[in-house]
Structure 1
Amino acid sequence: MRKSMTVWPVVHEERRRLVADLAELTDAQWATPSLCPGWDVHDVVAHLMDTARTGRLGFVRALVEARMDFDRANENGIAREKRPDPRETLGALRDAAELTLTPPANLATRLVEAIVHGEDIRRPLGLAGQYPDAAVRDALAYQLRTTVSFGGGRERAAGLRLVDRRSGNAWGDGAVVEGEAIDLLLAVSGRPVDPGRFSGDGAARFAGTLVSEQL
């Protein structure tokens, strides 16, 4: 089965779920800091809106305009798509939910984008996300193959064996870190996760690496 036939239905469903979850947010909730440093909930939704509408040529054009600075390109995209009223931004994401545009990157990045940014928003708001287990594992496997400089998290798990507590799937070699796949995905993607959610003889080292990076 072609990868696009499994990735896009998950991405489209996650966009719809997120829109539904955020439909009744208050103004204060929209301003809640997300797990992305410097971005609030509204910023992340605007970023998701920007990436949903950005194809290969648009990605290259945005990067050139940002003088090859990926972070600046993201900030420019947020400024471009962020409406004065966050509900309008959410409505735009709803309208773009079925788009299949993507930058020139592995299609697994769309899973990472949908799931990690979904949690960037939901966890600070106390909302529970529901993601297909296989999609979370695919996103985690991709992040572990990809360096931090390219948006992945390979270095964060160097010398460790990450084990999905639910399925028993494992990645890497070394001291064991066991946890829920979604927590492992967030951690290797550079997001703060409660160290108590991990176990195994490599858990303390894994948590220590993540904490030192965030200081």
Structure 2
Amino acid sequence: MNAPAVPTDDAALAVLLAQGRRRLADVLESLAPDRWDAPSLCDGWRVRDVVAHLTMPFRYRGPRVLAEMVLAGGFHRMADRVARRDGSRLSPAQLVAAVRDNADHPWRPPGGGAPGALTHDTVHALDVTDLLGLRLEIEAPAWVVVLDQLAGQRSLRHFGLDLSGVRVEARDVGWSTGAGELLAGNAADLVPALAGRSIAADRVHGPGVQRLPRLRRD
């Protein structure tokens, strides 16, 4: 399978962002109340905390973010604090609305542009759905954009991964990068693995899996 054409213009990426947010809202809307408190792929965060984090850029303006950072003592502490606090304060209906009503929101992460926003949304959407055993429909071009972002050196450094001498293949979407020992799987399995999440070892294969330090072997 050949890799699909990768959209590079903001308009095409905005369409993928909006599609992804609406589909995630549909999935979230179907959750039973107790599943909002289920664990996610984000260590220590419940499903509701991840959704609160994903929607924080839609709900908070710049000055409020800066104030929260000062109060928490840094960005990562702020993100954790706000996710847990807002995840508890906001109802499932409010969290679903925060996703759906902001499908077309123009937020972009600093230095990341639209590809960074799509990666942020996709990784956190999988954080929510993966352990719940739910399938999230994502367009092949969106997978390729996200995989390209996660396989970049900036992202690999951020998540502490060394994939030198490894060829990574998402065969279901015809995507690959690098050369050397094989690390292969479906896009939905490789994305959380490349984003530093813990996934079951049988979801990826090849000698290159040894480079993923957080595989679960249960």
TM-score by length of structure 2 reads 0.82
SS for the counterpart of 2:89 is: coil
Are 1:211 and 2:215 counterparts? Answer: yes
Cα distance in 2 for residues equivalent to 1:55 and 1:102: 13
Could you tell me which of 116, 121, 139 is aligned with 1:109?
A: 116
Structure 1 alignment gaps of length 5 or more = none
- The one-letter amino acid paired with 1:211 is L
Corresponding position of 2:11: 5
Q: 1:40 to 1:187 in 2, by over 3 A?
A: same
SS for the counterpart of 1:170 is: strand
Cα distance in 1 for residues equivalent to 2:171 and 2:8: 28
- The one-letter amino acid paired with 2:16 is V
Corresponding position of 1:179: 185
Which is bigger in relative contact order (C-alpha 8 A, separation at least 6)? Answer: 2
CA deviation after TM superposition for structure 1 residue 84, in Å? 4.1
Could you tell me which of 47, 54, 59 is aligned with 2:53?
A: 47
SS for the counterpart of 1:155 is: coil
Are 1:77 and 2:82 counterparts? Answer: yes
Query: What are the within-5 Å matches in structure 2 for residues 30-41 of structure 1?
Result: 30-41=36-47
CA deviation after TM superposition for structure 1 residue 31, in Å? 0.4
Q: 1:169 to 1:26 in 2, by over 3 A?
A: closer
Identity %: 28
Corresponding position of 2:125: 118
Task: Write out per-residue CA displacement over residues 172-197 of structure 1, whole angstroms, 9 at most, x where no aligned residue.
Answer: 23211121122111101011222222
Q: 1:9 to 1:81 in 2, by over 3 A?
A: farther
Are the equivalent residues in 1 in contact too, given 2:50–2:87 (CA < 8 A)? no
Cα distance in 2 for residues equivalent to 1:5 and 1:14: 14
- The one-letter amino acid paired with 1:193 is I
Are the equivalent residues in 2 in contact too, given 1:16–1:97 (CA < 8 A)? yes
CA deviation after TM superposition for structure 1 residue 201, in Å? 3.1
Are 1:16 and 2:10 counterparts? Answer: no
Query: What count of residue pairs does the alignment treat as equivalent?
Result: 208
Cα distance in 1 for residues equivalent to 2:67 and 2:156: 23
Could you tell me which of 97, 106, 109 is aligned with 2:103?
A: 97
- RMSD of aligned alpha carbons: 2.6
Deviates further, 69-78 or 44-53: 69-78
Q: 1:85 to 1:57 in 2, by over 3 A?
A: closer
CA deviation after TM superposition for structure 1 residue 82, in Å? 5.2
